[in-house]
Amino acid sequence: MNIVEKKCKVCPIGCDLRITKNDDSQFSVEGNRCNRGKEYGINEVLEPSRILTSRVLLNNGPMGRLPVKTNGVIPENLVDECMEIIKVTEVSAPIEKGEIIIKNILGTGVDVVAARRIN
């Protein structure tokens, strides 16, 4: 029986989860105050992933970098590689909030989008 402890990040409560994998490959989650916490805990053990936030280089704008985020989750094993791509990406103003900056990053089906509007 394997036990993993994680802090839930689904909502602001931040429950302390104990995820147990039983001998029959079933999971039980303790410490969650909602079903979303249970699902989060199991997913963190099976396939950890993250929504990324970062900044890309911005030309012709009032600041040097544009905040961006992914519009879906990135598998944890691809996070560093995605961040390297984002770090060297350049865009030029104007940019609309939600505009796709990098389409389908690393073939994940997830886009990197602008987190704010820049005139």
Q: DSSP letters of 29-64?
A: EES-SSHHHHHHHHHHHHS-EE--EEEEEEESSSSS
What pLDDT digit, counting tens, does each position of 15-49 carry? 999 999 887 778 999 999 988 999 989 988 888 88
CA distances from 16 to 2, 21, 43, 61, 103 (A): 17, 17, 15, 42, 35
Measure the CA–CA gap between 33 and 13, rounded to whole angstroms. 9
Q: Are strands 112-114 and 74-75 parallel, antiparallel or unpaired?
A: unpaired
Q: Residue 35's pLDDT is what? A: 85
CATH number belonging to the domain at 53-114, selected among 3.20.20.70, 3.30.420.40, 3.30.1330.10, 3.10.530.10? 3.10.530.10
Q: Is the pTM of this model over 0.85?
A: no
Strand partners for 5: 18
Instruction: Please state whether beta strands 16-21 and 27-30 pair in parallel, antiparallel, or not at all (unpaired).
Output: antiparallel
Bridge partners of residue 54, in order along the sequence:
68
Q: What is the dihedral of CA 59, 65, 66, 69, to 10 degrees?
A: 130
pLDDT at residue 1 in the model: 62
Which CA distances in Å does 94 have to 79, 112, 113? 28, 17, 14
DSSP state of 105: G
Report domain extents, the chain: 2-46, 53-114
pLDDT digit string, tens, across residues 54-89: 999 999 999 999 999 999 999 999 999 999 999 999
